[in-house]
Amino acid sequence: MPEMLELERERRDIRRYPGSLRQVLRSCFMKRRVLLSLLIAGAIVLLDQITKYLARTYIHPFETIRILPVLDLVNVRNQGAAFGMFSSFGNAFFISVSIAAILFMIWVIVKGREDHRVFALLAGGAAGNLIDRVTLGYVVDFIYFGAGGYHWPAFNVADSALSVGMVLMAVSLLRGRQ
C-alpha cells in the first residue's frame, strides 16, 4: 500500500509541471537537430578534405586536367576569401573570422531558431576551409569551370557548401518577407 501512495504522489507531481513533457520533447528534438547538423557538417568536412588531399597529391600546382570541355581539375592555392578576394588581409584574419562564424552557426543550430540544415552547410564549409588555413596556410581550390570567354574562379567542396547554404538562406529570408 505505501508503494501505491508513493506512485500516486509522483503522478500528482508530474501534473503540477505540465511544461516538463514539453521540455523533454524539446530537448529530444534539439538533440536530434544538433546530431543531424553535426552529421551534415561532418560529411561536408570529410568529403572536402578527402577531395583536397587527392587534388594536392595527384595534381601539380597550376596543372590542368580536362574532365569535360567546360570542367577542369586544377590545384590552386587560395590565400584570400571567395575567388581569392582580400588575400592581403592575411591568414590570421580569415582564421579568426572562420572561427567566429562557426561558433555563431553552432549557437544558431543549438538555439533552433532557423533551419539547422542551412547552418550545418555553412558550418561544414567554413570548417573545411578553416582546416586548410590552419594546416597549410592557404585553401586548396581544384574545381574549375570555363566555357568560351566565361570562366568561374576555382573552388572546392567547402566553397560549394557555403554557396548552397547562402542561396538557401537567401531563399528562406525572401520567403519570410512575403
| Beta partners for residue 43, in sequence order | none
Q: What angle do CA 51, 55, 58 make, to 5 degrees?
A: 130
Chain centroid to CA 58: 26
Rounded Cα distance between 92 and 173, Å, is 31
Q: DSSP string spanning 20-38? A: HHHHHHHHHHHHHHHHHHH
Residue 115 appears among annotated catalytic residues? no
Task: Using CB atoms within 10 Å of the CB of residue 79, give its burial: 0 to 12 exposed, 13 to 18 middle, 19+ buried.
Answer: middle
Rounded Cα distance between 77 and 138, Å, is 6
Q: What angle do CA 23, 24, 26 make, to 5 degrees?
A: 65
Q: Can you read off the three cell numbers belonging to residue 2?
A: 505505501
Catalytic, out of 48, 72, 132, 141: 141
Look-up of cell digits 584574419: 93
Rounded Cα distance between 75 and 59, Å, is 6
Active site residues: 141, 159
